[in-house]
Structure 1
Amino acid sequence: GPAMAEAGAAGPAMAEAGAAGPAMAEAGAAGPVVAEAVPPPPPLPGLQLVRQGAEACVYRGLFLGRAAVAKLRIPKRYRHPALEERLSRRRTAQEARSLLRCRRAGISAPVVYFVDYVTNSIYLEDIVDSITVQDHINSLQQSGNDTSSLLILAEKMGELLARMHDEDLIHGDLTTSNILLRPPTEKLDLVLIDFGLSFISGLPEDKGVDLYVLEKAFLSTHPDTEAMFKTLLKTYAATSKKSGPVIKRLDEVRLRGRKRSMVG
């Protein structure tokens, strides 16, 4: 709808942080600002709170008769209200645009039903009866059954991320809990979700960092999955038309990460 066109180019998420300034300056004599623990009311009556994260509250229910998920961005109280409004609006628009970009490129992501810039909330298709890749890997590892299907899952993930990066779309928060499996899980039909920190960039550096974030999350969440992640990267490299410089950057980013952990 016309709401999509409003926001203009959002640019990388990095631009946002600098302008906010330290939280302490706002607090003044009252002392530091304490984050609100109470979730905001649902943007539509009848929606149930499913998850409260640092960036957004996620609700589930019906939107115009369809199973939907509503994501409501949580305002950062330490920011100036006018700045907060501008940044929230920009991130909401960018998330919606990223989802639409996926859909246009044939990459599986939830359908955007509606974007509300008054409350900075997005209404999305609910992928009913899906499970996260994280839960799928965990249950398969715990069951003691044959885990060879995990290598095929890794290939599918590598393909999916290669296609996303070839569209110059950076997810910004790649973890195994931000990729869903549609039922039945044996089909390994993957859906990318949670584009709240996404941005557009053709730079190999940004794509390399995206993969590095996933690698760190992957290996810390799932023990003994080094072979699985290797398979993912191999398929990514074979599928992506622009993978050479990206993998080179990933190696450089890994090196930086190791140096940082050695120095402390």
Structure 2
Amino acid sequence: MATLQLVSQGAEGRLFETTFLGKPCLKKERFKKAYRHPVLDEKLTNKRLTQECRSLSKCRSLGIRTPTVYYVDHKTNTIYMEYMKHTVVLKDFIDEHVARGERTILEDLCYNVGYTIGLLHNGDIIHGDLTTSNILVMKRIDKYDCVMIDFGLSINSSLVEDKGVDLYVLEKAFLSTHPNSQDLFDKILAGYCSVARAQKAVVTKLREVRLRGRKRSMVG
């Protein structure tokens, strides 16, 4: 039996480093929520597991880099997927390069991140939890590519509202995690607008969602 090494634990599950058929892999295990009715919990967990796998598969068909899914165990709500070792979490990559004052690399990478999210939305995939902790950075020969991960809250939707909210979630997380980096988020939007088919409508919706968010903050 392969040994398990805990990599991380979030609200939805645990991530272990292990092997699958001799290959290094990550085992993503969703755990039960005691506060939910057992039947409802099982249905919801299974639905999210299925949707995550579908989103990962669809991403690859759209040319978006994601971990390959090796095996899905619906009985234990577990996904075995490719372990992309030669990557860095985008959050750490930004922090490191901001500290060095290397903005050009970050501007190019953030443009690429926005471009990739535009491809996601062209395929009507709403990530649901866009943060700089859910994007990996992979170095190529002459550039950096991004790898999209953690589609546990993803949905399929063609609605402009859902796409605008997806960007708003990223913007809030981005500016909260990386203060004084509005210029970098602007690069993300530029990359998004370069490829997203409904970019004008989505950016307009993003502005509307921002206003709603500010009003809620003011009301408390």
Deviation at 1:154, TM superposition (A): 1.3
Q: How does 1:1-264 map to 2 (within 5 A)?
A: 45-143=2-100, 145-183=101-139, 187-264=143-220
Q: Deviations over 1:204-246 (max 9, x none)?
A: 0000000000000000101221011112112211211111111
Q: Secondary structure at the match of 2:47?
A: helix
Give the counterpart letter for 1:101 in structure 2.
Answer: K
Q: Secondary structure at the match of 1:207?
A: helix
Q: Secondary structure at the match of 1:148?
A: helix
Query: Identity of paired residues, percent?
Result: 49
User: Whole-Å Cα distance in 2 between the matches of residues 48 and 120 of structure 1?
Assistant: 18
Query: Structure 1: which 5+ residue stretches go unaligned?
Result: 1-43
User: 2:26–2:80: 8 Å Cα contact kept in structure 1?
Assistant: yes
User: Whole-Å Cα distance in 2 between the matches of residues 258 and 80 of structure 1?
Assistant: 35
**1:23 alignment partner in structure 2:** none
User: Whole-Å Cα distance in 1 between the matches of residues 79 and 10 of structure 2?
Assistant: 15
User: Whole-Å Cα distance in 2 between the matches of residues 186 and 117 of structure 1?
Assistant: 40
User: 1:69–1:123: 8 Å Cα contact kept in structure 2?
Assistant: yes
Deviation at 1:104, TM superposition (A): 1.1
Deviation at 1:186, TM superposition (A): 6.0
Q: How many residues align?
A: 220
User: 1:54–1:74: 8 Å Cα contact kept in structure 2?
Assistant: no
Report the structure, 1 or 2, having the larger strand content: 2
User: Alpha carbon RMSD of aligned pairs, Å?
Assistant: 1.3
User: 1:169–1:199: 8 Å Cα contact kept in structure 2?
Assistant: yes
Give the counterpart letter for 2:216 in structure 1.
Answer: R
- TM-score, normalized by length of structure 2? 0.96
- TM-score, normalized by length of structure 1? 0.81
User: Whole-Å Cα distance in 2 between the matches of residues 73 and 94 of structure 1?
Assistant: 13
User: 1:60–1:70: 8 Å Cα contact kept in structure 2?
Assistant: yes
Deviation at 1:68, TM superposition (A): 0.6
User: 2:2–2:18: 8 Å Cα contact kept in structure 1?
Assistant: no
